[in-house]
Structure 1
Amino acid sequence: MSLVTPYKKVQRLVRRILAPDLSVRLGVENPDFLGMLADRRCDGQSDMKEKGRGDVSHGSRVRSQFSGSSVLITGCSGFLGKALLEKILRCCPEVETVYVLLRSNTKNGSAAQRRLQEEIFPSSCFNQLRRVRPESLSKCRAVQGDVCLPRFGMSEEDFMLVKEHVNYVFHCAATINFNEHLKTAFKINVDSMIHLVDICKSIKKLEALIHVSTAYVNAPVRANHVIPEEFRSVPADYWQLKSRVDKMSREEVSAMTEEILESSGHWPNSYCLTKCIGELVLRDLGESLPYLIVRPTIVTCAYKEPEPGWIDTLVGPTGLVLAVAGRSSLKIVNIGSSGRNPIPWKFMLEAMPGYYHRHPTDKSRGPIFFRSSTVYRLLDLLLHQLPAVAHDVVSRLKGGKADAARTMKKIKDALGVLKYFTMNEWFFESENMYTVLKAMSWEDMYFFDFDVRSIIWDVYFTIWSHGMKVFLLKEGPVYYDTSKRSRL
């Protein structure tokens, strides 16, 4: 029997029970819905004891490995970095210290700590942690630094702390701007990996290095190809390519970007190319290190934790530490659903517009999906481009600021960047992910479940829609009877 079969049966059963309108029956009309989704968060020990299973924390290998250990995390100002930091603090309360690398505009180390307190911790990502384990926040120590600099620009004191005490390193820092200037992308995604390897080689008690990459290091591979969990080569010598980019001015690189991307392997953008080269740097320079590369596909909102629907940007590594803590042979793990739980487009086409029809935002009517590109372009012209031009004309006549057309162009350019990924199809092999899942105990699955087969997609898209409204637009958990339609 296929591993996916039980999950498919459960999904069909849920839909049958909740039919005919799943998104309404499961949607935020039910005030307890989001709480029910989050009932498996690891603070629910009392619930587990009531079910006769006792305290599950004692059987968790991951929690025991983090007990008394220190962790270094880069990229905590980003979406994945925040989620990872919150997860470790909430589900691994015995962790000794979490060092958070943050940039600062001053040379005073306290500035990084102030940024941690004023920019990172206030995020709604930490709402649950503040309720159940507020004391865990005191285990964080900000380390001032910049991943683009040798030794991450850390002070001698901070570097010695990392060298002597850190056991686990999670590298989440990266530029995720698909159209980042190629010179900047090399500096952040490639140079940082060189510096990271040097730092990890000096750490005395390193147990594991987890590098968060992207499944789209295989972007040039087209449909009908199974993409394995292996390193992808770059046709050109990547060291020569890096040296060439380093020696050129920003203007020269800008003029040559398309030619460089094409000659290096038909890359769609600077992000995919430099993330691929970053992996190769880790492979070649970090051969002696206990590392694992995690390749998520498209990162959207949280399904259950830290809060259902949580998202803080318009764009589950912890459990994977099992794969490398024992010097496993696994080196790359694809985290994607295409192999075992693919996403049918119809769920997005039905769930998201349906949600915004019942819960329109104060600022817009929500997304509308079209199967015809001609209809889309016509409505884009009539509803977006022409009104923006008219707005700018009126604003200029009144002596005001005219930037609506420029804003619409930025939005259109952003959609154009995503077109490559939404109009192509990839099938990512994920056998290593299931190898890790099979090695996990029941207790670890309770705390650190990342099995994509359990996701019910039409439910997820409803959660995503709710999350964008609550966490990005800041309109609060609005229910059916209190929503108001916006009027043009």
Structure 2
Amino acid sequence: MEYPVGTEDTYESIERHYAGKSVFITGGTGFLGKVFVEKLLFSCTNLNKIFLLIREKNKSDATERIKQLLDLPMFDRVRKDRPENLEKIVALSGDVGLPNLGMREEDEQMLIEKVSHVFHFAANVKFNETLKVAMDTNVEGTRRVLNLCKRLKNIEVFVYVSTAYSNTDNQVLEEIVYPSPASIDEIYRILDKEVPNEDQVKRLICGRPNTYTFAKALAESLVNKEHGDVPTIIIRPSIVSASMCEPLMGWLDSWFGATALIATVAKGLNRILLSKTTNILDLIPVDYVSNLAVVAAAKCQRSKEVTVYNCCTSDANPLTIGELYRLITEDSVKHNFHEIICPTLLFTQSKWLLNIVTLIMQTIPAFIGDCWLRLMGKPPRFMKMQARIALICSTLQYFTSHSWQMKCQRTRDLFSSLSVSDRLEFPFDPTHIEWDKFIPIYCMGIRKFLLKES
């Protein structure tokens, strides 16, 4: 890969920018958050401290969860090459869903004195969450983090990680803050009066596909309106996918995003999709999102305006669903990953045809397969598998059946402004993704990290 000539002599490197500084991170135990923490530890070697807000989970406190986090294979290179940097992580017990983030007063005071960079990754990413819960975590949680930022003595930047699908009522998505889809106060007035049913929620979320994207749109508006003097950045990733290179090639730790869909297509268990081959599915490697967050914060200029970066591929380097399907099935056949001979995928824009083909090609064969397993004295599994596939498809149906053009020129300009060494260390220009190489990496990650195949 060739890069334009940088200006090393007059340029402050990303690593130098973070030297001696301390950062505060919410959502650091999530898929994207973990990759971000690892990148800071590995590439910003002179960073002072990383304060992670961690809530207790499964009877494990913040300290125990940090130990579990750092034992993951994705931190192998830090343990090997930068073991001293692991001591820079400070676990703070708390929760964005609680007043004052659920932190102890002494922990809050420590952040006020020491932190200069705040990264807010934490979110409830369940598409089918109730509107009240989505609002409290994704809107009020963001408000709580922003209020903390306003009290930090040395604040340089607040980075809010949103989603590119927060404004899907627009066909072309620019790197701007869009008007709020609704009044936050009005939404709360309605929620205080009653628990809305499914039809009422559909009306309240103003054409958004689910409560998650609606709450994210409201949170963007909140950040834009209430950030005050805090230099603020909004980063909008599209569908966050397996890592391209870092911390491990193809790294995955969950079935979120497009991962479950890709796996079921590769297995040959999903035979029809509500879409058309020319629709674009906007995938972005997780390390590209992480790198953009590191760099955008380092290059933030003090301004009253909120800077928006779309971390997407559909405009600069589009991948059609038809091409994605071809690459998935080629890889599946190559590695004998499929359970059905010659995995195929049909595309339709008709819901009734979708239901008929699903019944004939998936549900009935699954029922027959389970009957055969029972005759052989084995536990049935195919119908349960089809139920999961149906849930996956219904969750992603809106995103596969629509197509958007997500602009990312500001993101590309930021990358072009970097020195040669920083471009190599923090790649995030979407035009550098080669889909015929990345999709096999993605499929390998599913097999290796999620299904634990050798």
TM-score range, shorter chain: 0.7 to 0.9
The 1:365–1:93 alpha-carbon spacing in structure 2 relative to 1, beyond 3 Å, is farther
Give the whole-Å Cα distance in 2 for the aligned partners of 1:310 and 1:377: 34
CA contact (8 A) 2:316 2:407 kept: no
Point out the structure with max Rg over C-alpha: 1
Deviation at 1:428, TM superposition (A): 1.4
CA contact (8 A) 1:337 1:452 kept: yes
Match of residue 160 from structure 2? 211
Give the whole-Å Cα distance in 1 for the aligned partners of 2:9 and 2:424: 9
Give the whole-Å Cα distance in 2 for the aligned partners of 1:105 and 1:355: 37
1:195-224: CA deviation from partner (whole Å, max 9, x where unpaired): 1111111111111111110111111224xx
Q: Which amino acid aligns with 2:300?
A: V
Deviation at 1:403, TM superposition (A): 7.6
1:44-90: CA deviation from partner (whole Å, max 9, x where unpaired): xxxxxxxxx9xx89965221111011111111221110110000000
Q: 1:239 aligns with which of 185, 192, 204?
A: 185
Give the whole-Å Cα distance in 2 for the aligned partners of 1:146 and 1:349: 39
Mark the runs of 5 or more structure 1 residues left unpaired by the alignment. Answer: 1-6, 11-39, 41-52, 477-488
Deviation at 1:131, TM superposition (A): 2.6
Q: 2:39 aligns with which of 87, 102, 105?
A: 87
Deviation at 1:468, TM superposition (A): 0.8
CA contact (8 A) 1:67 1:94 kept: yes
Name the SS for the 1:167 alignment partner: strand
Match of residue 413 from structure 2? 435
Match of residue 202 from structure 2? 261
Q: RMSD between aligned alpha carbons? A: 3.1
Match of residue 137 from structure 2? 188
Name the SS for the 1:113 alignment partner: helix
Identity across the alignment (%)? 29
1:76-118: CA deviation from partner (whole Å, max 9, x where unpaired): 22111011000000000101110111111599xx821111112
2:196 pairs with 1:282: no
Name the SS for the 1:332 alignment partner: strand
The 1:407–1:359 alpha-carbon spacing in structure 2 relative to 1, beyond 3 Å, is closer
Mark the runs of 5 or more structure 2 residues left unpaired by the alignment. Answer: 257-290
How many residues matched? 414
Give the whole-Å Cα distance in 1 for the aligned partners of 2:375 and 2:333: 36
2:236 pairs with 1:295: yes
Q: 2:212 aligns with which of 254, 271, 278?
A: 271
Give the whole-Å Cα distance in 2 for the aligned partners of 1:331 and 1:368: 43
Q: 2:90 aligns with which of 122, 138, 141?
A: 141
2:332 pairs with 1:332: no
2:113 pairs with 1:164: yes
Give the whole-Å Cα distance in 2 for the aligned partners of 1:86 and 1:58: 28
Q: 2:442 aligns with which of 455, 460, 464?
A: 464
Give the whole-Å Cα distance in 2 for the aligned partners of 1:339 and 1:402: 45
Give the whole-Å Cα distance in 1 for the aligned partners of 2:174 and 2:215: 19
1:392-431: CA deviation from partner (whole Å, max 9, x where unpaired): 7789999998786455323312211211111111111222
The 1:64–1:126 alpha-carbon spacing in structure 2 relative to 1, beyond 3 Å, is same
Q: Which amino acid aligns with 2:164?
A: A
Q: Which amino acid aligns with 2:64?
A: R
Give the whole-Å Cα distance in 2 for the aligned partners of 1:397 and 1:188: 48
1:120-168: CA deviation from partner (whole Å, max 9, x where unpaired): 2222322322232222211111111011011110011211111111111
CA contact (8 A) 2:332 2:338 kept: no
The 1:384–1:369 alpha-carbon spacing in structure 2 relative to 1, beyond 3 Å, is closer
Match of residue 117 from structure 1? 67
Q: Which amino acid aligns with 1:169?
A: V
Q: What is the TM-score when the length of structure 2 is the normalising length? A: 0.82
2:326 pairs with 1:350: yes
CA contact (8 A) 1:75 1:174 kept: yes
Give the whole-Å Cα distance in 1 for the aligned partners of 2:48 and 2:9: 17
Give the whole-Å Cα distance in 2 for the aligned partners of 1:298 and 1:329: 26
Match of residue 482 from structure 1? none
Deviation at 1:337, TM superposition (A): 1.4
CA contact (8 A) 1:72 1:169 kept: yes
The 1:318–1:363 alpha-carbon spacing in structure 2 relative to 1, beyond 3 Å, is farther
CA contact (8 A) 1:323 1:330 kept: no
Q: Which amino acid aligns with 1:194?
A: R
Q: 1:230 aligns with which of 173, 176, 190?
A: 176
Q: Counterparts of 1:302-313 in structure 2 under 5 Å?
A: 302-313=243-254
